[in-house]
Amino acid sequence: MAQSTGGREGSGSPEPERHDIIVIGAGMAGLTAALYLARQGVDVLVVSKDLGGQLLQATVIENYPGIEAIKGVDLAMKVEKQARTFGAKFRYGELITRIERLEDGSFLLESARGSRYQAEAVILAFGKTPKRMNVPGEDEYDGRGVSYCTICDGPLYRGKNTAVVGIGDQGLEAVALLAGLCPRVYYVTPTKLFGDPDLVARVRSAENVTILEKHEPVRVLGDGRRVAGLVVRDKETGEEKTLEVEGVFVELGYEAKTEFVKHLVDLNENGEIVTDCMGATRTPGLFAAGDVTHIPFKQAVISAGDGAKAALAAFNYLQKRRGRNVEIKGDWKKTGRVKPKVQLRVGLKKRKEQ
Ligand SMILES: Cc1cc2nc3c(=O)[nH]c(=O)nc-3n(C[C@H](O)[C@H](O)[C@H](O)COP(=O)(O)OP(=O)(O)OC[C@H]3O[C@@H](n4cnc5c(N)ncnc54)[C@H](O)[C@@H]3O)c2cc1C
């Protein structure tokens, strides 16, 4: 039987879907947290906009321990599969926009499309989101010519003129990629060109790239269906011009969109969530992990470690809340559900013989 939510009673809203713990975000931090919670037998649901987060944009990762080189998307899919093996559940296409702590200490979450979820503990692992241009037409043509992931969407614009609105290495990499696909690429950047010297040289020498330094976007133009152009302004002279492009790629960096949780957590000057060394926020039962937090060095392996830590701490919180005195210190359990590859043993034997 459904429990009282303790809030918004009589509002006519449908009963929320309940789980022990909900993880917001299916990037490296959220996926790892789900794996660790599922291994403890916790009923865990991951609610996320997408699978992979920033990993989707990493063409190749060469510094994840134990894996020489892997596409970001493949790494995400591997961890998701591993978490599913132990019973973690996933819900994609959901953007959480509201979170409240109810009188009974549980949390009520709401998504942009009106879904409602309730859990005894929540792990905030919603990482960083691409910065927007904040100009007219951007929202209207988002996904219809405006893209925030050149690696994902660039190949769809082969043979078409495009513009990159970007900064630093991130912008330069996008331009270099599109220069190999598009007849003309405009690079609109708010400063003088800067970044990795090799990338700068590559972009400067590409014949089909027009560099517009110290320029800013003014408005995205469209025909009602798709992008048809981009109006840009010279920041020094104020002169405006229209670029005839069918794709606008925004590569301006990333930000932590923590506005909807700020009543429950402390934020630092970058808007990142401040946690203790266990991933706990100032609200009991609310944990955070990965790039959305104040931890330094935004890396896949660090988000993974952070997710594991927050998961174990959230598990201990849940046990205590339920009056069970069985705090765990780590997870060394061998379930036998997945057998190690035989080659590994052969490899070790060979190494011993050497
Ligand atoms: C181009 C690029 C290359 C990189 N290369 C490397 C590399 O070589 N090596 C390395 O170690 N690291 C690399 N990184 C960094 C690494 O990818 C990140 O540090 C790491 O993946 C962050 O994981 P995360 O789970 O903390 O956050 P994210 O990856 O940002 O994941 C956040 C998740 O939350 C979801 N989400 C966001 N808001 C909401 C919401 N309100 N409701 C529901 N879901 C939400 C997102 O859709 C996403 O699934 C790279 C990053 C980029 C962008």
> Is residue 61 in contact with ligand 1, taking CB distance under 6 Å?
yes
Interatomic CA distance for residues 117 and 113, integer angstroms: 12
Would you say the ipTM is above 0.90? yes
Q: Tell which residue, 207, 229, 17, has the closest CA to residue 136.
A: 229
Q: Is 115 in the pocket of ligand 1 (CB under 6 A)?
A: no
Quote the pLDDT of residue 58.
82
The predicted model gives 222-250 an average pLDDT of 97
Cα 335 to chain centroid distance, Å, stands at: 30
Q: Is the CB of 27 under 6 A from ligand 1?
A: yes
| Banded model confidence at residue 1, pLDDT cuts 50, 70, 90 | very low
Q: What are the residues facing 255 on neighbouring strands?
A: 129
User: Could you tell me which residues come within 8 angstroms of residue 302 by beta carbon, excluding any fewer than 6 positions away?
Assistant: 290, 295
Q: Is the pLDDT of residue 5 over 60?
A: no
Q: Which residue has the higher pLDDT, 226 or 354?
A: 226
Centre of ligand 1 to C-alpha 137, Å, is 26
pLDDT of 353 over the 70 cut: no
The answer to whether the CB of 127 is under 6 A from ligand 1 is: yes
Highest mean pLDDT of the ranges 57-61, 234-238, 335-339: 234-238
Q: 298 in ligand 1 pocket by Cβ < 6 Å?
A: yes
- Would you list the DSSP string of 67-117? -S-B-HHHHHHHHHHHHHHTT-EEEES--EEEEEE-TTS-EEEEETTS-EE
State yes or no: pLDDT of 345 exceeds 70: no
- Give the model's pLDDT for residue 12: 53
Q: What is the pLDDT of residue 350?
A: 63
Distance 53 CA to ligand 1 centre (A): 4
Which of ligand 1's atoms lies nearest the C-alpha of 60? 8
- Please work out whether the CB of residue 171 comes within 6 Å of at least one atom of ligand 1: no
Q: Is the dihedral of CA 255, 259, 263, 269 positive or negative?
A: positive
Query: Residue 186's pLDDT is what?
Result: 98
Distance 351 CA to ligand 1 centre (A): 36
Cα distance from N-terminal residue to C-terminal residue, the chain: 63
Cβ of residue 58 lying under 6 Å from some atom of ligand 1: yes
CA distances from 296 to 44, 172, 290, 339 (A): 27, 24, 10, 35
Residue 247 CB less than 6 A away from ligand 1: no
Evaluate if residue 3 carries a pLDDT over 50.
no
Query: Atom 53, ligand 1: which residue's CA is nearest?
Result: 54
Output the CATH code of domain 17-128+256-333. Answer: 3.50.50.60
What's the whole-number average pLDDT of the chain?
Answer: 92
Which is the closest atom of ligand 1 to the Cα of 291?
Answer: 26
Q: Which CATH number among 2.60.120.10, 3.50.50.60, 3.30.70.20, 1.10.3720.10 corresponds to the domain 146-253?
A: 3.50.50.60
Contact indicator for 101, 285 with CB cutoff of 8 Å = yes
Say if 17-128+256-333 and 146-253 have the same CATH topology: yes
Measured distance CA(269)–CA(248) in Å, rounded: 30
Bridge partners (DSSP) listed for residue 79: none
Domain segments of the chain as ranges: 17-128+256-333, 146-253
Average pLDDT value for residue range 31-60: 94
If one residue of 45, 46, 55, 199 were mutated to test the ligand 1 pocket, choosing by the most ligand atoms within 8 A of its CB, it would be: 55
pLDDT digits (tens, 9 = 90+) for 162-196: 999 999 999 999 999 999 999 999 999 999 999 99
Q: Mutation test of ligand 1: which of 24, 126, 173, 273 has the most ligand atoms closer than 8 Å to its C-beta?
A: 126
Residue type, 125: A
pLDDT at residue number 126:
98
Mean pLDDT confidence for 268-284 = 97
Q: Using one digit for the tens of pLDDT, what is the confidence trace for 198-217?
A: 999 999 999 999 999 999 99
Determine if ligand 1 sits within 6 Å of the CB of residue 56. no
Spacing, Cα 306 to ligand 1 middle (Å): 13
Residue of 22, 36, 54 to mutate, ligand 1, most atoms within 8 A of C-beta: 54
174 lines ligand 1 (CB under 6 A): no
